[in-house]
Amino acid sequence: MTKNKQQRLAAKAEAEAKGTGSPAIDNRRARHEFEILETVDAGLVLQGTEVKSLRRGGGSLAEAYARVRSGEVWLVGMHIAPYDPGRIEPHEPLRPRKLLLHAAEIKRLIAKTQEKGLTIVPLRLFWSRGRAKIALGVARGKKLHDKRESVREREARRELERARR
């Protein structure tokens, strides 16, 4: 490996460790309510004031889900708070937002969602090279007993960690 390439990799690792300074938005509820089978990252089409609001941490993925319509994937129900110092006409907080994916990824998502009980849920909004990205998960809804089992497993892991210390 050349010295130049090593420097680039080190700089990239350092930048990732620092973060971009902009907050990421996690959908913690999705991991509780759904069993995640597969994940994929997608770009997000945003307006200028939406980007500024997200960089301030003004977004929520709590009620959001993705839907495939006419060969395109749309994020529905994501709330982005209005940006106060913005222009005269602020963006609509709950408007559907287009997701940017390769055609093969869209076809795979369509095939997965055709299966009974599978849906596409947003897991995390993050920044990569200054662009907003969203991690989507192909998920199956958990039943109440599955949720209880997940809590039991988590508690058992915590007990093991405490015992190791």
DSSP code per residue over 53-114:
HHHTT-EE-TT-EEEEETTEEEEES-EE---TTS-SSPPPTT--EEEE--HHHHHHHHHHHH
**Structural domains in the chain, sorted by start:** 22-164 (2.40.280.10)
pLDDT-derived band at 14 (thresholds 50, 70, 90) equals: low
1-5, 63-67, 74-78: which has the minimum mean pLDDT? 1-5
pLDDT at 9: 67
Does the pTM surpass 0.95? The reply is no
Strand partners for 92: none
Question: What is the mean predicted confidence (pLDDT) over 20-30?
Answer: 74
Structure tokens at 6: 């090593």
pLDDT tens-digit profile of 103-114?
Answer: 999 999 888 888
pLDDT at 87 over 70: no
pLDDT averaged over the chain? 83
Q: Is it the case that residue 21 has pLDDT exceeding 90?
A: no
The top-scoring range by mean pLDDT among 26-30, 50-54, 57-61, 64-68 is 64-68
